[in-house]
Amino acid sequence: MDIFPGRLYQAREIETTEGLTEIAAISKNKCFRCGNTNVKLFGKMSCASCEKDACIYCRNCIVMGRVNSCQKLYFQKTKRLPKIKEPLLRWSGILSQGQQKASDAVVSSLIEKKDMLLWAVAGSGKTEMMFEGMDWALRQGFRICIASPRVDVCLELHPRLQEVFPKNEIVCLYGDSDDKYQGEQFVIATTHQLIRFYETFQVIFIDEVDAFPYAKDPFLEYAVGKARTKEGSTIIITATPEKQWQEECAEGKRNFVKIPGRYHRKKLPVPRTCWIGPWKKNLAKGKITPKLIKWIKNVEMRDQPALIFFPEIDAMNKFADALENNGFSRPVTVHSADELRKEKVEWLREGKIKLLLTTTILERGVTFTDVQVAVFGSEGRIFTEAALVQISGRAGRKLSHPTGDVCFFHYGKTAEMKRAITHIQRMNQQGVVEGMLDD
Ligand SMILES: [Zn+2]
Ligand SMILES: [Zn+2]
């Protein structure tokens, strides 16, 4: 088996360790591979290779193959690849004003080897904002990685990026991917896969980082830091940075660029709120508030596709039952463990169904033309500011239908609901001020 520079290997994965640099897998109670230092996440076992009764191993990264304290990890240093003069990007599209601003900021951060937060509203066309930076980095001979906590995002990015960078072999790595790393210059990976790399990439883009609280996850931060070369740039892309980061941006402690406008220059739909009383009690009696029945009839009348988000599966199912009892046809429901998840999303996209009831799994990453959005029981704890901003961001994404109704049906307004609405209003105001929106 070949050894590819930048990838960490365990002895059993390779034929020979000759000529490779070695690092202790676990030392001073820290797992080198994943950064775990939590005593509770280390186990003890009787070990065949060191013959100790209590050889320590890391449980935190065990899904990637067990590492023991008697083991070493092996790697070969990466060398910079040759520079390329001709552009690699093959894309004939035109960046919007907001996208161009972001794209320029990305390129200058890469040139200056700085980290950056790219804070861009849902539907602003984030992928295109990375194109010029990627092209620049690849031509420098840099190794680049685009990582996301979500496999769905990686799978969607792969064909899109391969299309615009036809000359580059792009590999897509995730838990059970058929692709294996073979020294490719351009890597797409789940953030989890980053723990297999060591000082490999000069540039790492992290997409949809808020799907997984980055700052609250020390392992992820360690993995990104370890996979990147000491000098380089980490570009974090999100529509909804956590509160602490928003504050750091406001205080000038974080290099960031904010793109408040969508590519089609129309404002983000601002959510309405609608009080529906003790809905749990009512659902238990098989009742749905007339306000929501009216909302559903309205979208049916206008023949628009609609998404209704629920705080939990149980409420969603009871709602579906109640809707049926109220003379509607049985609505289609979807949740994370649903095997037909992808198909159901397609049904709505193709117009085979008009209404889809969902848990928060569809809060991001999906685009439906002219979709109308309701959040049922929006006071639920699962509906954080970030989740509600993302959900609202499903509406009005298309140039052909740049607006849409978003309504929070609630039994008591929460601070998160209020923050989500303010967040969207502020983005719209700033978009107008910066000339990114047609007022
Ligand atoms: Zn570990
Ligand atoms: Zn051992």
What pLDDT was estimated at residue 43? Answer: 95
What pLDDT was estimated at residue 295? Answer: 97
Kindly tell me the sign of the dihedral angle through the C-alpha atoms of 282, 287, 288, 290.
negative
- Where the chain has pLDDT below 70, the residues are 1, 210-216
Determine the distance separating the centroid of ligand 2 and the alpha carbon of 45, expressed in angstroms: 8
Domain 97-259 and domain 272-433, same fold? Reply is yes
Determine the distance separating the centroid of ligand 2 and the alpha carbon of 57, expressed in angstroms: 8
What pLDDT was estimated at residue 214? Answer: 55
Q: Which two tokens stand for residue 301?
A: 């009348």
What pLDDT was estimated at residue 320? Answer: 96
Taking a C-beta distance cutoff of 8 angstroms, is the pair 167, 155 a contact?
no
CATH no. of 272-433:
3.40.50.300
Taking a C-beta distance cutoff of 8 angstroms, is the pair 204, 228 a contact?
yes
In this structure, what are the phi and psi dihedrals at residue 364, rounded to the nearest 5 degrees?
A: -145, 165
Determine the distance separating the centroid of ligand 2 and the alpha carbon of 53, expressed in angstroms: 8
Determine the distance separating the centroid of ligand 1 and the alpha carbon of 290, expressed in angstroms: 53
Q: Which ligand places an atom closest to the C-alpha of 49?
A: 2
Taking a C-beta distance cutoff of 8 angstroms, is the pair 408, 273 a contact?
yes
Determine the distance separating the centroid of ligand 2 and the alpha carbon of 11, expressed in angstroms: 13
Strand order in the sheet with 332-334: 272-275, 406-410, 372-376, 306-309, 355-358, 332-334
Determine the distance separating the centroid of ligand 1 and the alpha carbon of 42, expressed in angstroms: 8
3-state secondary structure (DSSP) of residue 321? helix
Taking a C-beta distance cutoff of 8 angstroms, is the pair 428, 260 a contact?
yes
CATH no. of 97-259:
3.40.50.300
CA 171 – CA 169 distance, rounded (Å): 7
CA 424 – CA 418 distance, rounded (Å): 10
Strand order in the sheet with 21-24: 9-10, 72-75, 21-24
Sequence-distant (≥ 6) Cβ neighbours of residue 388 within 8 angstroms: 271, 375, 378, 408, 416, 417, 420
The DSSP secondary structure of 252-317, one letter per residue, reads T-S-EEEE-S-TT--PPPPPEEEE---HHHHHHTT---HHHHHHHHHHHHTT--EEEE-SSHHHHH
3-state secondary structure (DSSP) of residue 339? coil
The enclosing H or E element of 422 equals helix 415-433
Q: Where are the alpha helices (DSSP H) in 112-208?
A: 126-139, 151-164
Helix/strand/coil percent split, the chain, to 5: 35, 20, 45
DSSP 134: H
User: Residue-wise over 282-309: b if at least 16 C-beta within 10 A, else e?
Assistant: bbeeeebbeebeebbeebeeeebbbbbb
Sequence-distant (≥ 6) Cβ neighbours of residue 271 within 8 angstroms: 375, 388, 392, 406, 407, 408, 417, 420, 421, 424
Q: How far is CA 402 from CA 93, 301, 370, 438, in A?
A: 20, 19, 8, 12
3-state secondary structure (DSSP) of residue 21? strand
What pLDDT was estimated at residue 41? Answer: 94
List the domain boundaries for the chain: 9-75, 97-259, 272-433
CA 310 – CA 316 distance, rounded (Å): 6
Determine the distance separating the centroid of ligand 1 and the alpha carbon of 289, expressed in angstroms: 50
What pLDDT was estimated at residue 395? Answer: 95
CA 72 – CA 369 distance, rounded (Å): 52
Q: How far is CA 66 from CA 149, 224, 326, in A?
A: 22, 20, 55
Q: Which two tokens stand for residue 5?
A: 């520079």
Determine the distance separating the centroid of ligand 2 and the alpha carbon of 37, expressed in angstroms: 18
Q: Which ligand places an atom closest to the C-alpha of 48?
A: 2
Q: Which ligand places an atom closest to the C-alpha of 11?
A: 2
What pLDDT was estimated at residue 209? Answer: 72
In this structure, what are the phi and psi dihedrals at residue 231, rounded to the nearest 5 degrees?
A: -95, 130
Residue 322: count other Cβ atoms within 10 Å of its Cβ: 19
Q: Which residues surround ligand 1, an ion (CB under 5 A)?
A: 31, 33-34, 36, 58, 60-61
